[in-house]
Amino acid sequence: MANRPGDGTRLDPWYGSYAERTHGLKVSETRALFAVANRPEVVSLAGGMPFLDALPMDLIAKVTADLIATEGAVALQYGGGQGHPRLRAQITEVMEQESIQAHPDDVVVTTGSQQAIDLVTRIFIDPGDVILAESPSYVGALSAFKSYQAWVEHIPMDADGLIPEALRQTIKRLRKAGKRIKFLYTIPCFHNPAGVSLSLERRAEVLDICRSAGVLVVEDNPYGMLAFDGSVLPAIRSMDQDGIIYLGSFSKTLAPGYRTGWALAPHAVREKLVLASEAAILCPSHVAQLSIAAYLENCDWLGQINVYRQIYRERCDAMTTSLAEHMAECSWTNPRGGFYTWVTVPEGINTKAMLPRATTELVAYVSGVAFFADGQGSRQMRLSFCYPTPERIREGVRRLSGVLARETELVALFGPQGDGAGEAVRNPAPDIT
């Protein structure tokens, strides 16, 4: 073979061998952020990392050590593909907080809820099938959808979340065009990245529309319990069980390093998910599952969620107050929980083009384009308030406002700054606020 890596060329001798689906894989907008976020001089408003310093580490260390010392030969062994029965039972208790009644038999433990998204897509999507998703939607889900060659159709949102009438019309239009719609992917609580929640009335309406149309609902709810005021909205899954796959995660209520999430699915679908998961990873990590089981048994996990809520509320306040003070020319959503606010910048500013300049001035965010499958989002950005302290958040917004001011001058002098793609500017995302 010519052009081996060892020859110092970056050409790929296996290029002609890849599957169709592989050609769509692109480096995600968030990849570089993990690196940037780790540079201490940068205020990162980019990543969705929970603030783990708030965890009782000594207690978790003790509980984990006890687990390994007393049950190590089980905890470090292979387990079943569906997940450990002890943890699945506890997961049903966790979901009771969101008014969900479920049986442990219908829970599938996954390697983070990302794997649940991947598995759902794997079992339902043939190339060209349609997935409905909010406009914007979670970047990780969009990557998974793309890797199975799905067509993502975005549905507009407003301050109350997904707009039911838009959902109804989109389904009608796509059906008329002969498209196969497989499911609606929705993040009803403290939306990533939009920061808004689907109102209670709309939950019933969205469910009704999907039920009537025979469209499965995939409800992704990692932030549902992180309401700042402690008021947990009933999950859509609490209103129906046959037409919904509910996805949950311990990444935000405990810690993401365990990579432990779950899917709660109708019986027959659950079986397919388990089979697909066995083909993908054999079984989820036993030691991660049993560590979490021991944490839930021995620690005040609801109290810990309250600790997180208070921290994130304070940080969200710091962010929205700073935005009002320094970036009044922008608009933003007002989160009542979760990790994110969604900011719309003045016309002419391109958040993707601006990002390298922001990083130079030691502040990072995620450009809105990451959250669309169709090139929208160049006037939006996602700001996260979960990880930096309130002081750092205020400093970050100050820096960002400076970057924005200089960008505005540039636009006034030279006209709008494209990102090279162009289409984003022609098809602007709606301002959700």
Residues 108-147 that bind its own copies (CB under 8 A): 111-112, 114-115, 118, 122-126, 129, 140, 143-144, 146-147
Q: Please identify which residue in the block is written with the tokens 């599938």.
A: 108
Using CB under 8 A, pick the residue from 39, 65, 101, 173 that binds its own copies.
Answer: 65
Taking the least distance from each CB to its own copies, the nearer of 12 and 347 is 12
> Taking the alpha carbons of 344, 345, 351, 357 in that order, is the dihedral positive or negative?
negative
Q: What DSSP string runs through 184-230? A: EEE--SS-TTT-----HHHHHHHHHHHHHHT-EEEEE-TTTT-BTTS
Is 176 a binding residue for its own copies by CB under 8 A? The answer is: no
Is 40 a binding residue for its own copies by CB under 8 A? The answer is: no
List residues bridging with 171 in a β-sheet.
none
Piece of the chain touching its own copies by CB under 8 A; list 43-51, 154-162, 341-349, 396-404: 43-51
Is 47 a binding residue for its own copies by CB under 8 A? The answer is: yes
Is 285 a binding residue for its own copies by CB under 8 A? The answer is: yes
Contact between residue 167 and residue 206 where contact means Cβ atoms under 8 Å apart? yes
Closest CB 217 distance from its own copies, rounded Å:
12
Piece of the chain touching its own copies by CB under 8 A; list 107-115, 192-200, 327-335, 407-415: 107-115
Task: Return the closest-CA partner of residue 293 out of 67, 125, 142.
Answer: 67
Using CB under 8 A, pick the residue from 44, 45, 79, 168 that binds its own copies.
Answer: 79
Is 2 a binding residue for its own copies by CB under 8 A? The answer is: no
Site for its own copies in 202-221 (CB under 8 A): 211, 214, 216
Is 60 a binding residue for its own copies by CB under 8 A? The answer is: yes
Taking the least distance from each CB to its own copies, the nearer of 159 and 282 is 282
Contact between residue 262 and residue 27 where contact means Cβ atoms under 8 Å apart? no
d(CA 94, CA 86): 13
Q: Taking CB under 8 A as the rule, which mask of x and - marks residues 311-350 in contact with its own copies? A: ----------------------------------------
d(CA 330, CA 345): 5
Taking the least distance from each CB to its own copies, the nearer of 257 and 416 is 257
Closest CB 152 distance from its own copies, rounded Å:
14
Count, residues in the chain: 433
The kind and range of the H/E element at 351 are: helix 351-360
Is 178 a binding residue for its own copies by CB under 8 A? The answer is: no
- Give yes or no for a cis peptide into 40 (omega within 30° of 0): no
Q: What DSSP string runs through 132-151? A: EEEES--HHHHHHHHHTTPE
Using CB under 8 A, pick the residue from 58, 413, 414, 415 that binds its own copies.
Answer: 58
